Chains A and B, each alone.
Chain A
Amino acid sequence: QKEVEQNSGPLSVPEGAIASLNCTYSDRVSQSFFWYRQYSGKSPELIMSIYSNGDKEDGRFTAQLNKASQYVSLLIRDSQPSDSATYLCAPRADSWGKLQFGAGTQVVVTP
């Protein structure tokens, strides 16, 4: 069983719509959660971090965390073609900053 599971993609989203990405994790001690975006052929870059249960909004991105359900999600509002990328969920349980990455969900925003 994978420790971090994400929606299998690709997720096709019309331009202007909301993209919803889900992530579940198995390690109950995970305290910090990160979403990275990776464009094809490029390196990952951090777009969101969340540490407490509830919602956290940053521009068009909203992260939602439910530690009891071991679930974290990312919403992308008003999706743009530039949002087409793979999104990696990465919980962190280790005190030395080791991340556990999911396989990623590819998002394709269609005009």
Chain B
Amino acid sequence: NAGVTQTPKFQVLKTGQSMTLQCAQDMNHNSMYWYRQDPGMGLRLIYYSASEGTTDKGEVPNGYNVSRLNKREFSLRLESAAPSQTSVYFCASSHRDRTTDEQFFGPGTRLTVL
């Protein structure tokens, strides 16, 4: 099992460009999440999907859109990138019914917007 995979690992964009970050999990989890991590700020939730077919805003959704393509895949789209979106992006998944409710994280995408 690969767990949670993310592509790409690194990306440099110019202001105004668009891109989609891909995330997939092979653990049959119901819930998936997108976080961004900035120095000194911990992880902040951008969007989440409690189950296939549903998505909801998190703490910092502005400038982003998401698609829960199927149970396995959850993508994050930046329509018009801004320097403030320079960050490390983590995708995570969890099986809400499990007692531990552990979130499993992907390796991250390091995005720089010039």
- In the bound complex, residues from chain A placing their C-beta under 8 Å from that of B35 are 101
What's the nearest-Cβ distance from chain A to residue B53, in Å? 14
**Chain B residues touching A, majority SS:** loop
Is B58 in contact with chain A by the CB < 8 A criterion?
yes
Q: Contact partner of B90 among A44, A92, A98, CB < 8 A?
A: A44
| B31 close to chain A: CB less than 8 A | yes
Q: Is B44 an interface residue (CB 8 A)?
A: yes
Q: Is the CB of A49 within 8 A of B106?
A: no
Q: Is A97 a contact partner of B40 (Cβ separation < 8 A)?
A: no
Does the CB pair B31–A43 fall under 8 Å?
no
Task: Report the minimum CB–CB distance from B9 to chain A (whole Å).
Answer: 11
Q: What separation, in Å, do the CA atoms of A43 and B40 have in the docked complex?
A: 15
Q: A43-B106, A96-B31, A98-B58 are in contact. Are A88 and B42 (CB under 8 A)?
A: yes
Give the residue of B42, B94, B106, B107 whose beta carbon is less than 8 angstroms from that of A97: B94
Q: Give Cα distance in the complex from A78 to B44, angstroms.
A: 32
Cβ of B79 under 8 Å from chain A: no
* B86 at interface by CB-CB < 8 Å: no
* Choice from A46, A96, A101, A102 contacting B48 with Cβ under 8 Å: A96
Q: Does A99 contact B (CB under 8 A)?
A: yes
Q: Give me the interface of A with B, judged by CB distance under 8 Å.
A: 4, 32, 34, 42-46, 49, 88, 92, 96-99, 101-104
